[in-house]
């Protein structure tokens, strides 16, 4: 599918094209690392193509603390410059703030 809007780009069979995706946080890495030495504190698994994408806390779109827990559902954009990276990660499962203060 061809579109002038980068947020509406389709997927390819060889992997994901740059565009929007939904996924679940697979793991967190408090010390960073990630594939090919790129900073990758979090790993998200795409619900559609089951690929994994790394990102760090700077890509979490929120006010206040930028943190995500394993198992949370998110919406994200796949980076056009680095197709194994997620960017503009938005949390869909907002936890109860009281859980952080127990």
Nearest in space to 39 (alpha carbons), one of 49, 27, 48, 30: 30
Residue 20 in this model has a pLDDT that exceeds 50: yes
pLDDT of residue 41: 81
Q: Identify the structural domains of the chain with CATH numbers, from first to last.
A: 17-101 (2.40.50.140)
Tens of pLDDT along 21-44?
999 999 877 655 555 555 558 999
Task: Give the contacts of 29 (CB within 8 A, at least 6 positions apart).
Answer: 40, 41, 42, 43
- At 15, list the tokens: 């992997």
Q: What is the pLDDT of residues 40-90, one digit of tens each?
A: 589 999 999 999 999 988 899 987 777 788 899 999 999 999 999 999 999
Q: Higher model confidence: residue 9 or residue 19?
A: 19
Residue 3: per-residue pLDDT: 38
22 pairs with which residues across the strands? 75
Q: What is the dihedral of CA 65, 27, 20, 11, to 10 degrees?
A: 170
Coil vs helix vs strand at 64: coil
Angle at 76 between CA 23 and CA 80, to 5 degrees: 120
pLDDT at 85: 93
Residue appearing with tokens 């740059």: 18
Residue 73: the pLDDT is 94
């Amino acid at each position: 599918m061809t579109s002038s809007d980068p947020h509406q780009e389709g997927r390819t069979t060889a992997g994901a094209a740059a565009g929007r995706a939904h996924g679940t946080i697979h793991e967190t890495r408090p010390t960073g690392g990630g594939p090919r030495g790129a900073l990758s504190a979090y790993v998200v698994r795409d619900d559609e193509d089951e690929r994994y994408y790394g990102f760090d806390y700077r890509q979490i779109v929120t006010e206040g603390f930028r943190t995500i827990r394993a198992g949370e559902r998110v919406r994200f954009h796949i980076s056009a410059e680095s197709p194994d990276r997620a960017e503009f990660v938005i949390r869909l499962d907002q936890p109860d703030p009281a859980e952080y203060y127990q």
